[in-house]
Each structure stands twice: as structure tokens, then as C-alpha cells.
């Protein structure tokens, strides 16, 4: 499709393209030292770029130039490691974002709503008058205090999910970046995740 997007990673030292990856929902591009990424529409990329990316250089103006020679074996090996790390970090970001999405499915605009709820709760504490937003939490207006307590549990649970998913992402992304075997680290992370569920 002409509108499909690709993530293109390039090495800052050489300018050579290291990775071309399909951009998918819930993926965050990998942030790796010495590597930059840009997003392009497939229709704007030169043909053959995805087939053998290391034969291409990405210029500062985001244009691509074919290279006459392959990089040396050590550079190709370094690029392969960068490619593997980026792939694993993309997969990790998708998993974490899916966890967050699943937890917040019915919470569109949740952070804005939380602030509105908190303001209305403060007004309710001061005046004893429940807003329509607070009354919407319960069937019987006499149960507003119960509705507020349940809402506060929901807010705490949602915040706990965000915090734990951030800790999870930080721990495993650091392990992937530091590893020479990032795919094994990702596999270990998946085993750990499945054993806790």
C-alpha cells in the first residue's frame, strides 16, 4: 500500500542504513546509542532499500544514496546487533503498550477525567453537593461516597498498572540494549511474563 509507513534506522557514525522495519500500531521506535530513526512512507523509499539496507546511506536531508561497497565484516556484525536490539525493543514496546491499552480500554481521556473527578470530589467535600459527574458513578445519590471510594480504587489500580508497566519496560529495555544476544533476552522476558500470568 502506498500509505504504509516504515521505520528507517541509520548509524550516526557512517550514515549507513541499519534497519528498515514496518511501522505497526503500539510500536515505539527503538532509542539506541549511536543510531537515529526516521519514519517514511513506503512510496518515498528507493526500491531495494529494504532488501539490503547496509548498501544505502541516509543523508542529513533524509535522502538515500546507494553505496558502492559493503561495510567490513565487523561493521556488518555491529549493524546486525543493532538490528536485533531495535527489533526486540520494538516488540517490547508493543507488548507494554498493549498491556496499557488493555488496562485503559474504557478510559479514553482518562487523565483529563481524573482531574475533573478530583475537582468535583473536592467541591463535594466542601459543599456536600455532588456534581452530575459524581452522580453518574452511582444509581442512588445517597451512595455518592461509595462511588467516590470505588473511583479512587480504580484510579489507584490504573496508576499502579502504568507504574508497573514503566518499571517492566525500563528493566527489560536496559537488558536488551546491554545484551549481545537481545533475542534471548526478549525470549526470557516473555517466559517471565507468561509465568506471572
Q: Where are the domains of the chain?
A: 5-88, 104-197
Structure confidence by residue, pLDDT tens digits, 45-93: 999 999 999 999 999 899 999 999 999 999 999 999 999 999 999 999 9
> Does the pLDDT of residue 35 top 80, yes or no?
yes
Mean pLDDT over residues 149-171, rounded?
86
Looking at residue 24, its pLDDT comes to: 84
Which range of 38-52, 87-101, 149-163 scores highest in mean pLDDT? It is: 38-52
Residue with cell 507494554: 96
| pLDDT of 1 over the 50 cut | no
What is the average pLDDT score of the chain?
Answer: 89
Q: Does residue 2 have a pLDDT over 50?
A: no
Beta-bridged to residue 66, according to DSSP, are: 56
For the beta carbon of residue 17, count every other beta carbon within 10 angstroms: 23
Instruction: Work out the angle at residue 109's Cα, subtended by the Cα atoms of residues 105 and 111, and round it to the nearest 5 degrees.
Output: 105
**pLDDT, position 104:** 62
**Alpha helices by DSSP H, the chain:** 73-103, 110-127, 132-135, 144-178, 182-196
What three-state secondary structure class fits 25?
A: coil
pTM for this predicted structure: 0.74
69-78, 104-113, 151-160, range with the lowest pLDDT: 104-113
User: Over 60: is that where the pLDDT of 184 sits?
Assistant: yes
d(CA 186, CA 168): 12
Amino acid at each position: 500500500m502506498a500509505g504504509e509507513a516504515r521505520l528507517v534506522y541509520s548509524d550516526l557514525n557512517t550514515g549507513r542504513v541499519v534497519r528498515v522495519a514496518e511501522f505497526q500500531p503500539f510500536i515505539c521506535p527503538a532509542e539506541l546509542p549511536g543510531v537515529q530513526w526516521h519514519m517514511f512512507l513506503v512510496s518515498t523509499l528507493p526500491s531495494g532499500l529494504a532488501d539490503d539496507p547496509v548498501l544505502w546511506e541516509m543523508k542529513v536531508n533524509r535522502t538515500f544514496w546507494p553505496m558502492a561497497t559493503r561495510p567490513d565484516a565487523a561493521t556488518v556484525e555491529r549493524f546486525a546487533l543493532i538490528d536485533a536490539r531495535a527489533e526486540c525493543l520494538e516488540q517490547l514496546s508493543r507488548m507494554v503498550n498493549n498491556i496499557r491499552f488493555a488496562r485503559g480500554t474504557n478510559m479514553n481521556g482518562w487523565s483529563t477525567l481524573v482531574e475533573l473527578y478530583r475537582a468535583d470530589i473536592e467541591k463535594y467535600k466542601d459543599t456536600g453537593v455532588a456534581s452530575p459527574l459524581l452522580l453518574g458513578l452511582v444509581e442512588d445519590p445517597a451512595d455518592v461516597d461509595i462511588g467516590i471510594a470505588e473511583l479512587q480504587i480504580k484510579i489507584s489500580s490504573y496508576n499502579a498498572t502504568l507504574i508497573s508497566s514503566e518499571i517492566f519496560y525500563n528493566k527489560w529495555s536496559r537488558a536488551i540494549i546491554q545484551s549481545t544476544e537481545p533475542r534471548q533476552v526478549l525470549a526470557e522476558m516473555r517466559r517471565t511474563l507468561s509465568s506471572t500470568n
